[in-house]
Amino acid sequence: MFKQFGIEKPIIQAPMAGVTTPKFIAACCEAGVLGFIGAGYLDGQETRAFIHEARKLTTKPFGVNLFVQEEPRIDTQVLQQARAALQPIYDELGIEGAASVVSRDLYSEQVEVLLTEKIPIVSFTFGLPSEEVIGRFKANGAFLIGTATTKAEALAVEAAGLDAVVLQGIEAGGHRGSFHTPFEHISLFDLLQQVKGALSIPVIATGGIMTREHVQQAMDNGAAAVQIGTALLVAEECEVNAYHKEAVLHAHGSETVLTTAFTGKPARGLKNTFTERLKEEVVAPYPLQHHLTAKIRKASMVQGRPEYLSLWMGQNSHLAKQGTVRQIISTLS
């Protein structure tokens, strides 16, 4: 499927917003897999600068992943309760709470940038792009990938006219790409079984894939490629902060939780003081909670308090092994 993009192995480096850097993406491309920019938190200008920087480091093609942006409905009572739940942590860290929870429309800016930069592969999470956006990318020759966490979502990705679907199992680190409610919790291999024979577009399996056996099992169950997050998070070239890398390398298993505490959307990461303190509290919907907790994450980095950081990682993070991107990839395929 990905021969057209010049990759040697059916492996995609998972886009990881806030983690992927030009150096890391270039290292993945040079190691023979498909590199992906996680552009979720960037504005248009930052996305363009990132693309230019990556292009200085590799001549190979890479993809860009976008968060399909939704308009949050602001319920002021919920917002006040969510802010109140965070106040003791703001106080403990000696910071002011978030001044504003209003988001800029980053998504539309990013779409324009990807079109002018002629990005050949674009993936989406948190929903489906509009018909208009799909039409414009297709006219520009881009290969489009959607994210699904259920069979119904995968069928919706295909019906929208996208070219491939990332099937994200419940094991996956980071945010769930779910866009149908109520959210379902399905393992990757159950999902692969459920979509067997139901889709005509290629399936990219993701979630908890850390070993050659996992890759083989995904391919044997219908995947055309796999998308790898946590296993590459610990690569030498990955410039994620040291707390995050260490937390993955020291994970023992069964230590991750699905939490809405950091952003308002369910995401899998290390269980820590923050996820536990917020467990029974009111959490504002995405992306309001993301804005409410942004200063906490920033201050805890500066103050060396990883117990309040979002340390996204998959359920199988205990299987992560240090090495260069090339070394890690060679253990997978």
Choose which of 10, 35, 40, 287 interacts with ligand FMN (CB under 6 A): 40
Choose which of 208, 264, 266, 285 interacts with ligand FMN (CB under 6 A): 208
Whether the ω angle into residue 306 lies within 30 degrees of 0, i.e. cis, is no
Contact 127, 68 (CB under 8 A): yes
Distance of CA 103 to the CA centre of its chain: 19
Choose which of 47, 150, 227, 300 interacts with ligand FMN (CB under 6 A): 227
- Least distance in angstroms from the C-beta of 267 to ligand FMN: 8
**Contact between 209 and ligand FMN per CB under 6 A:** yes
Query: Which of 46-54, 69-77, 156-164, 206-214 is the region at the interface with ligand FMN (rule: CB under 6 A)?
Result: 206-214
Choose which of 127, 207, 264, 266 interacts with ligand FMN (CB under 6 A): 207
Reading the block at residue 180, the tokens are 């149908």
- The dihedral sign for the CA sequence 25, 27, 328, 34: positive
CA dist 129 and 146 (Å) reads 9
CA dist 325 and 253 (Å) reads 23
Q: Which of residues 145-184 bind ligand FMN (CB under 6 A)?
A: 147, 168, 171-175, 177
**Contact between 247 and ligand FMN per CB under 6 A:** no
Helix, strand, coil shares of the chain, percent, nearest 5, are 40, 15, 45
β-pair type (143-148, 121-125): parallel
Nearest-CB residue to ligand FMN?
Answer: 229
Contact 37, 12 (CB under 8 A): no
Q: Which of residues 54-83 bind ligand FMN (CB under 6 A)?
A: 65
Query: Which of 136-144, 148-156, 227-235, 278-286 is the region at the interface with ligand FMN (rule: CB under 6 A)?
Result: 227-235
- Least distance in angstroms from the C-beta of 15 to ligand FMN: 4
CB closer to ligand FMN, 17 vs 101: 17
- Least distance in angstroms from the C-beta of 66 to ligand FMN: 8
Extended beta strands in 115-219, E state: 121-125, 143-148, 164-168, 174-175, 203-206
Q: Which residues bind ligand FMN (CB under 6 A)?
A: 14-17, 19, 38, 40, 65, 125, 147, 168, 171-175, 177, 206-209, 227-230, 233, 312-314, 316
